[in-house]
């Protein structure tokens, strides 16, 4: 049952990543681009998890964990920079 759904999930996440990339490149403001970047890393994280389920490999889950950790730190740093003008 799940084997039939996983290709659709992979395609949906890939489409979401393309749309986020479009918003990242063409966003009207800086806040829109930051949100697009945040959504892009979340979609890539979900895509890696689905690929890990599909291929049965734990390496994808570890990569998703790293992307989630670095994406969160990057989002917080970028938000602080936009709010204050400095990261620290």
Residue 47 is predicted with a pLDDT of: 94
* Cα separation, 9 vs 46, whole angstroms: 9
Residue 3 is predicted with a pLDDT of: 80
Identify whether the C-beta of residue 77 lies closer than 8 Å to the C-beta of residue 37. no
For residues 14-18, average pLDDT: 96
Residue 60 is predicted with a pLDDT of: 93
For residues 19-37, average pLDDT: 91
For residues 26-33, average pLDDT: 89
* Cα separation, 21 vs 31, whole angstroms: 14
pTM: predicted TM-score of the whole model, two decimal places: 0.84
């Amino acid at each position: 049952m799940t084997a039939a759904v996983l290709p659709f999930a992979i395609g949906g996440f890939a489409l979401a990543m393309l749309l986020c990339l479009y918003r990242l490149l063409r966003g009207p403001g800086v806040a829109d681009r930051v949100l697009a970047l945040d959504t892009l890393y979340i979609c890539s994280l979900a895509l890696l998890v689905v690929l890990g389920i599909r291929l049965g490999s734990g390496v994808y889950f570890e990569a998703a964990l790293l992307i989630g950790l670095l994406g969160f730190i990057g989002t917080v740093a970028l938000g602080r920079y936009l709010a204050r003008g400095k990261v620290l």
